[in-house]
Amino acid sequence: MEFYDVIKTRRSVRSYKKEMIPESVLKRILNAARIAPSGSNRQPWKFIIIKDEKIKRKMVDLCEGQEFVAQAPLLIVACGKNIHYNRGGWMGDYSVIVDVAIAVDHLTLAARNEGIGTCWIGSFDNQGIKEFLGIPEDVNVVALTPLGYPEDPNIFKETKNRKKLEEIIFYDKWEGK
């Protein structure tokens, strides 16, 4: 698939077929996350791949009742270890969130390229998930995403609900509000 088509048609999918993702496809998707860039090449991420139905059901409660989290054949929990590196002079401990987010973005785009649906989950109980999945104290959950073939094969369409380019860019300095 052409790269810009992947970007334009990546959508949040909230309804999945039960069909399992072939291991070779999953490995390509995970490898896309693995090779993502990170500040000073720290690669502070770990990914927990959940296949077990009972664990996925419990994750629904830890993701504020979002049922579709358990509907997909796989659920990815993206975690980051804070290595206390003050990137940019103000980001400090937040830089791990940026690094893991870049890796998750690579993962979601690779999934779209493979015809796999994702949905970036940002509403979750970090401490509850850490306790449930045995995540170490110095590691936090940054995002979750289900992975699966969309129930609606026509869901991958370009969204029209985006600001115009002229509304989001400035040249040389900040202008206006």
Residue 156 has pLDDT above 70, yes or no: yes
Is 175 part of a structural domain of the chain?
Answer: no
State the residue for tokens 């500040």.
39
Counting residues of the chain whose pLDDT is more than 90, the rounded percentage is 86
Query: 9-13, 91-95, 132-136, 138-142 — which is least confidently predicted?
Result: 91-95
Q: In 10 A of CB 58, how many CB atoms? A: 17
Q: Number of structural domains, the chain?
A: 1
| Per-residue exposure over 26-36, b if at least 16 CB sit within 10 Å of its own CB, e if not | beebbebbeeb
Is 49 part of a structural domain of the chain?
Answer: yes
Task: Tell me the pLDDT band of 141, cut-offs 50, 70 and 90.
Answer: very high
The Cα 166–Cα 48 span in angstroms is 39
Sheet holding 74-81, edge to edge: 45-50, 74-81, 139-147
Residue 90 has pLDDT above 80, yes or no: no
- The SS3 call for residue 49 is strand
Is 172 part of a structural domain of the chain?
Answer: no
pLDDT score of 28: 98
What's the mean per-residue pLDDT of the chain?
Answer: 94
Residue 87 has pLDDT above 70, yes or no: no
Is 7 part of a structural domain of the chain?
Answer: yes
pLDDT score of 20: 97
- The answer to whether 107 and 30 have CB atoms below 8 angstroms apart is yes
* Backbone φ and ψ of 26, nearest 5°: -60, -40
For residues 17-45, average pLDDT: 96
The Cα 13–Cα 5 span in angstroms is 17
For residues 3-25, average pLDDT: 97
Residue 91 has pLDDT above 70, yes or no: yes
Question: What single string gives the DSSP state of each residue in 64-95?
Answer: TT-THHHHSSEEEEEEEE-----TTTT-GGGH
Task: Determine the structural domain holding residue 155 and report its residue range.
Answer: 3-167
Is 173 part of a structural domain of the chain?
Answer: no
Structure tokens at 2: 């052409």
* CA separation, residue 47 to residues 27, 71, 116, 137, 159 (Å): 12, 19, 17, 16, 29
- The answer to whether 10 and 108 have CB atoms below 8 angstroms apart is yes
Q: Is 131 left (phi over 0), alpha (psi -120 to 50) or beta?
A: alpha
pLDDT score of 177: 72
Is 177 part of a structural domain of the chain?
Answer: no
State the residue for tokens 């980051």.
80
The CATH number of the domain holding residue 123 is 3.40.109.10
Residue 103 has pLDDT above 90, yes or no: yes
Task: Tell me the pLDDT band of 82, cut-offs 50, 70 and 90.
Answer: confident
pLDDT score of 165: 94
